[in-house]
Amino acid sequence: MNDKFLSLLGMARRSGRVSLGHDAVIGSIIKNKAKLCILSSEASQRLQNEIQHACTYENKNIPVLITDYDTLTLSSAIGSKAAVVSVDDEGFAKALQEKYLTQKG
């Protein structure tokens, strides 16, 4: 995989620092474990709104990254099908945000 963002996301997954799928991500946000939420480009508007609302509810300030990767591409990187992922580690979250913004310009 030549994409550094996807490689880093896969590494975070293998280290157990991510939550996959709607229910797990919402749970991670509620428990204040989520440091970054990543959505595929194919995530429905309803899912995007729900995640963005959860990430800002009660003065939470969790960044939400709506990528231009489709669900298949994200799923390939993390080894499981999911349109939404939360990164539950501060270091991985910051690195992923930087990589995505640098890569996508």
Summarised one tens digit per residue, pLDDT across range 22-72 is 999 999 999 999 999 999 999 999 999 999 999 999 899 999 999 999 999
Report the domain count for the chain.
Answer: 1
The domain of 60 spans 4-104
* Helix, strand, coil tally for the chain in percent (to 5): 55, 15, 30
- Residue 2's pLDDT is 61
Q: What is the CATH number of the domain that holds 38?
A: 3.30.1330.30
Q: pTM of the prediction? A: 0.94
Q: Rounded to the nearest 5°, which phi and psi values hold at 98? A: -60, -45
The mean pLDDT of the chain is: 95
Q: How far is residue 93's CA from residue 70's CA, in Å, rounded to a whole number?
A: 20
**Residues 103/4, Cβ–Cβ less than 8 Å:** yes
State what percent of residues in the chain have pLDDT above 90. Answer: 92
- Residue 103's pLDDT is 84
Beta-sheet pairing, 64-66 with 36-39: parallel
pLDDT at 104 over 90: no
